[in-house]
């Protein structure tokens, strides 16, 4: 009986060691860790991951992100210097190609990766990104899938991760945008409220 138990334990250990590389191949730990770092800095307007100024255009400034997603073409932190909204945004250009099918596959792959990402809070609680996948359609110029974190933490109330695929001149772009999206009615100045 002891030999049978040892044999079963050995077989189970071998099976789990063979399953482990497949599991790691499915998810990208570097991608997940980078997303977790970005999500964790969201309440601080990305001040801990803001690098050098790249572009200043009127009220809008873009800085290089010190946290980059594996495979990203560029990662930027953006600020609008507005009296109504002082929140920052984070954007990664993830894929660029003229072929719709290739862009759609990358868009779906990135959605699956994002839906496996999590945010670990200071108290040890863990929240996963969740949302509704919107399938890409070649007849539409753009599609956006939104993911959110379901937490009682008020800092994440208007928080969204937007995975977008859009057509631009002669190619498709796939971007990840981590933003605050408030309702338009919350953003209007008082003098517009009566209209």
Whether 9 has a pLDDT exceeding 70, the answer reads no
Among all chains, which residue has been given the structure tokens 């138990």? 5
Average pLDDT over residues 25-50: 89
Going from N- to C-terminal start, the domains of the chain cover 28-192
Strands (E) located in the chain: 50-57, 60-65, 74-80, 88-97, 118-120, 126-132, 142-149, 159-168, 171-180
| The pLDDT value given to residue 17 | 35
Q: Answer whether residue 176 shows pLDDT above 60.
A: yes
Give the pLDDT of residue 186: 52
pTM of the model: 0.79
Q: Where are the alpha helices (DSSP H) in 42-169?
A: 100-114
pLDDT score at 122: 86
Averaged pLDDT, 75-80: 94
The most confident of the ranges 23-27, 77-81, 138-142, 182-186 is 138-142
Between 20 and 121, the more confident residue is 121
Would the pLDDT of 23 be above 70? no
Report the pLDDT value the prediction gives residue 27, as an integer from 0 to 100: 62
Q: What is the mean pLDDT of residues 95-118?
A: 97
Q: Report the distance separating Cα 92 and Cα 110, nearest Å.
A: 12
């Amino acid at each position: 009986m002891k030999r049978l138990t040892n044999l079963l334990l050995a077989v189970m250990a071998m099976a789990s060691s063979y399953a482990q590389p497949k599991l790691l191949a499915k998810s990208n730990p570097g991608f997940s860790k980078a997303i977790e770092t970005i999500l964790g800095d969201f309440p601080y307007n990305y001040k801990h991951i803001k690098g050098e100024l790249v572009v200043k255009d009127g009220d809008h400034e873009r800085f290089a992100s010190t946290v980059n997603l594996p495979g990203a073409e560029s990662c930027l932190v953006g600020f609008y210097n507005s009296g109504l909204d002082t929140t920052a945004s984070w954007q990664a250009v993830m894929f660029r190609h003229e072929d719709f099918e290739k862009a759609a596959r990358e868009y779906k792959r990135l959605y699956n990766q994002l839906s496996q990402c999590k945010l670990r809070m200071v108290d040890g609680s863990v929240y996963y990104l969740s949302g509704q996948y919107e399938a890409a359609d070649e007849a539409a110029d753009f599609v956006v899938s939104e993911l959110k974190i379901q937490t009682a933490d008020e800092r994440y109330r208007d928080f969204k991760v937007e995975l977008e695929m859009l057509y631009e001149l002669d190619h498709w772009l796939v971007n990840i945008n981590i933003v605050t999206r408030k309702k338009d009615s919350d953003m209007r100045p008082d003098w517009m409220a009566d209209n």
